[in-house]
Amino acid sequence: MAAIIGDACGGRQLINDARTHDQRVRARPALGLARGMALDMYAGIPVTDHATALGWYQRLLGSPSYVASDTEAVWELGEHRSIFIELRPEQAGHAMHTIIVDDLDELVAQIAERGLDAIERETYSNGVRKAIYRDPDESEIQFGGAPL
């Protein structure tokens, strides 16, 4: 199953020279990344209790790719795309990540088999769908999928 966590240099092009300077600046990739520049994503989720969070994220994502320390675990979702939990109680509960997958229904079923159900499912007017999960600290992990 493919997983993608944002692509900051994903194909934005200036297609209308009549736009103002401010419009053109806003259309550039974030962080000044040049088109085609290699990009790795290492997205963090602060947690208040590492053991509790580790159990919850194992039900959500499966076994971690590696446990970096007693306070950090990492899941590689795809090549150069990872998500990690880290013990940082003062920052816990504020993460929000969306992961786009090629088969949302299959992933939601796999997660349910591991004992977690989405707290909400939503379909946008264009048919794009998402399933929302909240960890014990209230950080939000969303999985999105293309229209059926």
89-143 per-position pLDDT tens digit: 999 999 999 999 999 999 999 999 999 999 999 999 999 999 999 999 999 999 9
Alpha carbon 73 to its chain centroid, in Å, reads: 15
Q: How far apart are CA 25 and CA 113, in angstroms?
A: 46
The pTM (predicted TM-score) of the whole model is 0.76
H or E segment and range at residue 86: strand 81-87
17 has which bridge partners? Answer: none
20 has a pLDDT exceeding 80 = no
Q: Is the pLDDT of residue 9 over 80?
A: no
pLDDT in tens, 52-85: 999 999 999 999 999 999 999 999 999 889 999 9
d(CA 76, CA 64): 8
Q: Is 127:145 a contact under the CB 8 Å cutoff?
A: no
